[in-house]
Amino acid sequence: MNYRATLSDTLFLLVLFFLVAGRLTIDTLGIKIGGKIENLALLVLVAGFLSDLCFRGLIRRVAQFLQYGLLLLGLGLFIGLAANLSGDSFEQLFRMSVQALTGIVLGGWIHARFKNRFDWVIALIIAFAVLQIGTPWTNLSNSELEGAFGHRNLQSAFYVLSFPLLMFAFMKNGWWKSVPHRLGLGIILLSQLAFILISRSRSGLIGFLVMAMAGCFLSRMSGLWKKLNLKYALPGAVVIIGAVVAVSPRFIGMTHEIGDPYPLSRAGVWSAALEGFKQPQRFLAGAGMGEGYFKAIQESSMGNLSQRYRRGHHPHCLYLQWLYWGGILALVGWFWILADLGAILKSRNMSWQEILLGSSLAGYVCLEIFETALKNGRIHTLFWLNASLLILLAIGRSGRQRTQE
């Protein structure tokens, strides 16, 4: 028995479990397990060392694939840190770096088990069951339904990104042919969709709609459309979501926002955030990852908004957030990373795994126009897990094509 490999797999399974389930609290014993995902990074590094995963070129392959985007993003964040040096800013940059590394290594481990292992599938299903228990389904009359993440937009973003992993479990190793397994996974998937709809998360609904449309488009482009008989998938998704939007009071209320957008919608928040860029040096260097944004808003005449968004609130748009964190270099670097990931989806030889990952990332990218969910450690880690999986699958496909040629 290979004890080294067994220990490595156990550590990876623990990190994957807590990434999805979050912190477990045992009140009777006063024990809290899990916590912030970056606190589990040491387990990932130890597991990677024991499995030699880090030494098989995993980090190097992902970094080379995204090299220019990562370079610009890192440079922008370091300039922002230097221009607004603070302990909070350094800590936030360190945490996000560790989260990204954790996601990449965890994605590499899952990729290595696609063909002949499904222990990660079991851990994933149990973790999602725990997450659903932590969601306040017994209080559906609460219009906010904030959920286990503390805010409906954050939990919706997590669900959009976690969709491919659940579908991998649904389709892996013939599990989908077993009625009990298919029923259990179907309940989890439907509960995620139900949360997005019942919680009335508009950014979550936008992310889900874009994900569904991207999945249909990519399936058709790659030829899987005919194989899986998906001709009714896109119109069906549009009709269902359109019906939900039509009857939802929260979305009916959007008509008032169109008439007076500043105090009632994101327009006021974005206006206040953009006000901070009247100083050219802030546009170039950013405001750092600490309290820089709060100070910029306090200087703004638009900072004291008339609605629920208090002075100093985050900009509710990831792309504005990158400008504050690292200036124009960080923003360009992030778009470059997204463009490199998007370039994978141009191939007509994509696997169904790549299509799922690509459609999920597309939905998430659109969701982040209206939110800054990436600030959540679990969501940030899951983004890089999906990104590394997509990159590794694309590299493997390209290698097989060259071998066949």
Higher-confidence residue of 170 and 176: namely: 170
User: What does the H/E/C string look like for 185-226?
Assistant: HHHHHHHHHHHHHHCCCHHHHHHHHHHHHHHHHHHHHHCHHH
pLDDT band at 310 (very low <50, low <70, confident <90, very high): very low
pLDDT band at 265 (very low <50, low <70, confident <90, very high): low
Q: Which residues pair with 32 in a beta bridge?
A: 25
pLDDT score, position 199: 77
CA 36 vs CA 192, 252, 263, 325: distances in Å: 22, 37, 34, 21
Domain ranges of the chain: 56-404
Q: Are 154 and 373 in contact (CB under 8 A)?
A: yes
What's the mean per-residue pLDDT of the chain? 77
Residue 336 to residue 68: CA distance in whole angstroms:
7
pLDDT band at 157 (very low <50, low <70, confident <90, very high): very high
pLDDT score, position 213: 83
pLDDT score, position 301: 65
pLDDT at 249 > cutoff 70: no
pLDDT score, position 389: 93
Average pLDDT for residues 218-229, to the nearest whole number? 62
pLDDT score, position 370: 87
Least confident span in 90-94, 216-220, 229-233, 369-373: 229-233
Q: Are 273 and 297 in contact (CB under 8 A)?
A: yes
pLDDT at 380 > cutoff 80: yes
